[in-house]
A and B are shown apart, each in its own frame.
Chain A
Amino acid sequence: MYPPSFRYYRASSVAEAIALLQREPEARLLAGGHSLLPAMKLRLAAPPALIDIGRIPELRGIRRRDDGWAIGAMTTHREIEFSDLPLLAEVAAHVADPPVRNRGTIGGSLAHADPGADYPAAVLALGATIKAVGPGGERSIPADDFFQGLFTTSLQQGEVLTEVHLPALGHGWGWAYEKFPHPASGYAVVGVAAVVQAEGGAARQVRVGITGAAQSAFRARQVEERLTGRPMDEGAVRSAIEGAFEPDQLLSDPFASADYRAALCQALCRRALLRAWQRATT
């Protein structure tokens, strides 16, 4: 595990990180380092420089806001796991193992956009907003527009992901995350995050984010539409997920075929929706 040599910078502020990125356009940002450093050690990635943003105070921590929460990009999985953030605390408990969760960060994970990462399903289901700052200023990217494909996001060259905004989920909301981890890597073969709002015995809003199944996380819009405005009993959920996942849209690899992933999408979608509904209605 011996990476090639590289230059190392430690930024003390977001502004400094942006300036360093302009000076070293080929550099990669180093957050918790739990995806990037293994790739470098295996010599699958060989950036000439790393800009460490892991110790910038302004990027750290969870803040309550009027309309929800703001999570600093360098907040660790462990901090999120032990927070009272809706859905995200549950999801963080599924990320890798405790040593990784102590170092890995939500911003690093989202920017890396691994197809088997857990957070993408959650931010889609939550309708989160991702904040990025670049030389041209700051912009907010809806989670729905963020994931663009395999290890690809809508972040642009020179931008730093700084914050994740979650909307407040009050009374009547429920959520759940169901994951089938790869027995070796621990990544999601399929992970399904469901968020529902119950009102008068029916589902007012339904959002389902799915990770692991395709090149990047996606929303199960057909399932959401079929269920919106109805009571979510087992029968309704079963018929809503029927035929909702086409294997030809899904990943296939030596461990799991697309057919298998489609079956997992169905099973985990049902389990996540019913659990979210139960939470929303009790």
Chain B
Amino acid sequence: MVQATGRRYIGAAIKRKEDPRFITGRGTYVDDLAPPGTVYAAMVRSPYPHARIRSIDTRRAREMPGVLAVFTGADLEGVNPNPVGWLVPELRAVPYPVMARDRVRYVGEIVAVAIAEDRYLAEDAAQAVEVDYEPLPAVGDATKAVQAGAPAVHDQVPDNVAFRLPFGDQAAVDAAFTTAQRVVRLELVNQRLVPSAIEPRAALASYDPATDQLTLWLTSQNPHLIRLLLSAFVLGLPEHKVRVISPDVGGGFGSKIPLYSEECIVAWAARRLGRPVKWTAKRSESFLSDRHGRDHHTVAEMALDGEGRVTALRVRTVANLGAYLSTLGPAIPTWAYIPLLSGQYVIPHIYAEVVGAYTNTPPTDAYRGAGRPEACYLIERLMDVAARELGLDPAEFRRRNFVPPDRFPYQTSVAVVYDSGNYPGALDKALALADYQGMRRQQEEARREGRYVGIGISCYIEACGFAPSKLVGQLGAQAGLWESALVRAHPTGRVTVLTGAHSHGQGHETTFAQIVAEELGISLDDVEIVHGDSGAIPMGMGTYGSRSLAVGGSAIVRALERVKDKARRIAAHLLEAAPEDVELREGRFYVRGVPDRGVDWAAVALQAYLAHNLPEGMEPGLEASAFYDPENFTFPFGTHISMVEVDPETGLVKVLRYVAVDDAGNIINPLVFEGQVHGGIAQGVGQALLEWGRFDEDGTPLAASFMEYALPRASHLPSFKTDVQVTPCPHNPLGAKGIGEAGTIAATPCIVNAVVDALSPLGIRHLDTPLTPPRVWEAIRQARARQA
């Protein structure tokens, strides 16, 4: 029987329950699994960004020892294209075949699969497949793809425009610009990023002909969603005959949301061959075949009145979707982007136009922040440029334009309603924590010594837990965005929670258990969180967009309320009291006002299953499920401040200081919270200074390994100084908003603003990311030439 603890769990900095398993190498990842008889798949991938396939000769590969089969697109009869999960108006969708048939459209597109008794033989066989390609003209850059005369990626979309989405009141925005006292214009690039989760993607499929059950182990952030897409759309199998398990997953950052070709191929091949088939990405394949993020080109204009207030914003963005539409591909540069363009500010009129372009590059989709970092980068860069042109301190200029704390809920001019916020509070806290005035004095001293030191501020907003389902349906989502939970109390009083959210680094096994332990007054060790198995968990939408706590956590609270309500009625019956007079405190039910009359939670749980003495007509058992559909997004926010120094001889940017104040509502576990902030900042700094998923003009990748693609390392980062402010979410039972992406969203403009500030004495107004040393050096050289 469980013991009551009397301990507070919500808000406690508890070390993660899952970490001992991970740090001692006892995690179970997809690649750790190999059911008896497992065979191994190796993909044959296109080396060309665009080519016609004249012929594929698999004979030599098929005849190699240990090779079971080599399949090409022609063999995959009856396999449907990979569907799009989010439609935007007038979308010109094209089929995304799981294996190319007669044409390849990006380097890395799969043209054949070799399956052999071991992975080495499979790779040998894949190398022996002879593909005769006829290279075609290709285009890698989205802005070039939509220009007249560019090569068409798909014949049926000759201008490469997948969609053109206008949003907002264009006439009102035009009018505001006509009467503006000042207009600030900025053209900027949000470069492509490669998500680079530490665990490469993997897929293992096993088919049991006796039961007609297909089981898949995948590195997915959302196994139920994948089951639906794979069974109902791609393979045409009954959903109840397909089980998708995502065991331990080593990071996703959005790249493990979509349904991937490799997953479809192993699922199909396992049925065809009657053997379990496994594929694990080599890191070189990850670069080519994981969904990439960002890749925007934007021209933005901001209108200002005579008092330094923003009156309107006009944004034109060309987003690179890649060669095909990924699962959420069209949603990222549209509905995950446009609604965030108001930032923390009152901007009465906003008009945005987003063009989604097909190019000969791998498809893009969600990457940590997904649309929101692009919006934040744009607005926070514009705010900095505007402040400089107005001669105002960037903190003061932002403060002047903040949505005031007394105006929440705040209706923006880009559809969404901000739930709660205190923007000046977070700014002030960050300014104090950073000693902003002291920083400015240090900067002055450094400048006198001829050094280039800069300070950057970014006041970010994020939107988590896209919801409610009805709204996202109107916006084109082909799924609801609720979350489910099932809370099962065992006869001992211990609790198992089945959640539809998925943890691939977030720490749900700890934070979700904290919610339950707190609510029931039992120990954390008496709560088990189960996730990632469509065979065990009734339903789920998975984890992305910082939704797990706000949506998945709230579903757990709702299910818990039902369990507690039933338990209270049992307790009242045992205590011979009215249910409304009974309360649960620290693991024991009491009759209100009579502290010596009580019954333990565990005794109630036992009675629920003994059923010897239940209220008249009550069913035995103590479990409940809930589907939680939030009434709104949550809107976390905060202010980050950084200080950098640029070495003008080499162009090297050194981050000297980094301060973060984040407000994501109530905090369940400050340690997990801070971990998310740290990792997020590192990734945001990565975009600002290092990472560049670069392609040449025709779509040939130029950074397809960690020899060229630079991820942030500890040595690139200073020790962060962090603090929090708490403005609870008013519309969910936890009052929590989500912290998974905040750091990534805030850090990129924070660093770029600091670098531009450092170089402003040279007349440098903007630099495009990543601010690699050669690029910074070149900008300095050109600026000096202009000044001379």
Identify the A interface with B (CB < 8 A).
Answer: 1-5, 42-43, 180, 182-185, 254-257, 259-260, 263-264, 266-267
Contact = CB atoms under 8 A, between A and B. Distances in A.
A255 B649 contact: no
B119 A185 contact: no
Contacts of A257: 774, 778
Given A3-B120, A4-B124, 13 more contacts: A2-B120, A5-B124, A42-B284, A182-B707, A183-B716, A183-B772, A184-B707, A184-B711, A185-B706, A254-B708, A256-B773, A260-B651, A260-B773
11 contacts: A2-B123, A4-B120, A5-B124, A184-B690, A184-B703, A184-B707, A185-B706, A255-B708, A255-B772, A257-B778, A263-B777
Nearest to A270: B649
Contacts of A185: 706-708
A127 B647 CA distance: 32
A33 B651 CA distance: 34
Contacts of B716: 183
B710 A260 contact: no
B702 interface: yes
Q: Lowest 3 CB-CB distances: which A-B pairs, in order?
A: A184-B710, A183-B710, A267-B649
B702 A183 contact: no
Given A2-B119, A183-B690, A254-B702, A267 B650 contact: yes
Interface string B689-719: 1100010000000110011111100001000
Given A1-B283, A263-B777, A184 B706 contact: yes
B127 interface: yes
Interface in B154-203: none
Contacts of A263: 649-650, 777, 781
Nearest to B716: A183
A256 B710 CA distance: 14
Nearest to B777: A260
Interface string B476-488: 0000000000000
A234 to B, nearest CB: 14
Interface in B750-788: 772-774, 777-778, 781
Contacts of A264: 650
A27 B74 CA distance: 40
B590 to A, nearest CB: 59
Contact of B282 (A1, A5, A182): A1
Contacts of B120: 2-5
Contacts of B282: 1-2
Contacts of B651: 260
Contacts of A183: 689-690, 710, 716, 772-773
Interface size class of B (residues with CB under 8 A): 20 to 34
A5 B119 CA distance: 12
A260 B778 contact: yes
Give the most central of A43, A183, A260, A264: most B CB within 10 Å.
A183
A180 B283 CA distance: 26
Contacts of B708: 184-185, 254-255
Contacts of B649: 263, 266-267
A179 B399 CA distance: 43
A63 B775 CA distance: 45
Contacts of B124: 4-5
Contacts of B709: 184
Contacts of B119: 2
Contact of A180 (B127, B694, B773): B773
Contacts of A42: 284
Given A42-B284, A254-B702, A180 B650 contact: yes
Contacts of B650: 180, 263-264, 267
A184 B708 CA distance: 5
A263 B774 CA distance: 10
B38 to A, nearest CB: 16
A250 B277 CA distance: 49
A267 B781 CA distance: 14
Contacts of A260: 651, 773-774, 777-778
Interface in B499-530: none
Give the most central of B284, B703, B773: most A CB within 10 Å.
B773
A55 to B, nearest CB: 25
A43 B778 contact: no
B52 to A, nearest CB: 25
A255 B774 contact: yes
A268 to B, nearest CB: 8
B697 to A, nearest CB: 12
Contacts of A255: 708, 772, 774
A153 to B, nearest CB: 22
Nearest to B123: A2
A256 B284 contact: no
B508 to A, nearest CB: 31
Nearest to B120: A2
Contacts of B689: 183
A180 B707 CA distance: 15
Give the most central of A2, A254, A260: most B CB within 10 Å.
A2
Nearest to B711: A184
Contacts of A254: 694, 702-703, 708
Nearest to B709: A184
A247 to B, nearest CB: 12
Contacts of A4: 120, 123-124, 127
B199 to A, nearest CB: 14
A254 B778 CA distance: 14
Interface string B78-92: 000000000000000
Nearest to B127: A43
A183 B778 CA distance: 17
B300 to A, nearest CB: 28
A272 B120 CA distance: 47
A116 to B, nearest CB: 10
Contacts of A3: 120
Give the most central of A3, A42, A180, A184: most B CB within 10 Å.
A184
A182 B710 CA distance: 8
B115 to A, nearest CB: 14
Contacts of A256: 773-774
Contacts of A180: 650, 652, 773
A182 B690 CA distance: 10
Interface string B649-663: 111100000000000
Nearest to A256: B774
Nearest to B708: A184
A185 B284 CA distance: 14
A4 B777 CA distance: 43
A263 B781 CA distance: 10
Contacts of A184: 690, 703, 706-711
Give the most central of B707, B711, B716: most A CB within 10 Å.
B707
Nearest to A41: B282
Interface in B108-134: 119-120, 122-124, 127
B239 to A, nearest CB: 35
A99 to B, nearest CB: 14
A259 B650 CA distance: 12
B572 to A, nearest CB: 63
Contacts of A43: 123, 127
A263 B780 CA distance: 12
A255 B775 CA distance: 9
Contacts of B690: 183-184
Contacts of B284: 42
B517 to A, nearest CB: 40
Contacts of B283: 1
A43 B649 CA distance: 38
A52 B466 CA distance: 57
A256 B708 CA distance: 11
B650 to A, nearest CB: 6
Contacts of B652: 180
Nearest to A271: B649
B117 to A, nearest CB: 13
A274 to B, nearest CB: 13
Nearest to B122: A2
A35 to B, nearest CB: 11
